[in-house]
Amino acid sequence: MFRIETEVDRARRDLLHSRLRDTNTKASPVLRALRKTPAERELPLHVWVLDDQDELAAGLVGHTWTAWLHVAYLWVDERWRGAGLGSRVLAEAEKIARSERGCTSSRLETWDFQAPGFYKKQGYEVVCVIPDYPPGITEYTLTKRLS
């Protein structure tokens, strides 16, 4: 007999994560080789652009893991859009990921009304399209080889 519960439970979440990690490590020689190496850990990667008043003009929040940069957020203040700040911030993050952390690829997600065209101009390719996520919006996953 089983009982289903739906409350948020951090201890069970952590236990589930640990068990899934153990199962994945056992099943994958690639993940097994990663364990207990520096590449196993996610390292934050942030890039900030401040204006002459020390106000945030643009920024990128992401992390590196194994050989990948994952861009979570990239934003440019409306006053500075079209001035090349987004390209510069993204290029700086890619440079750090490549030269300081050994990354060979980058990935990110964006919605149809945000910036898929911008990322394509930066050399990213669409690898996944999820329509209606959320309803009425299309989400894109894009990747790029860092050379």
Residue 38: predicted pLDDT: 83
Q: What is the pLDDT of residue 106?
A: 98
Q: What is the DSSP letter of 35?
A: T
10-residue mean pLDDT profile of the chain (147 residues): values are 94 96 95 88 96 96 97 97 96 98 97 97 98 98 96
pTM of the model: 0.89
In this prediction, residue 36 carries a pLDDT of 87
**Residues 94/124, Cβ–Cβ less than 8 Å:** no
3-state SS of 88-147? HHHHHHHHHHHHHHCCCEEEEEEECCCCHHHHHHCCCEEEEEECCCCCCCCEEEEEEECC
Q: Measured in whole angstroms, how far is the alpha carbon of residue 46 from the centre of its chain?
A: 11
CB neighbour list of residue 18: distance below 8 Å, 6 or more residues apart: none
pLDDT at 89: 98
User: Phi, psi (5° rounding) for residue 122?
Assistant: -90, 5
Q: What is the pLDDT of residue 7?
A: 95
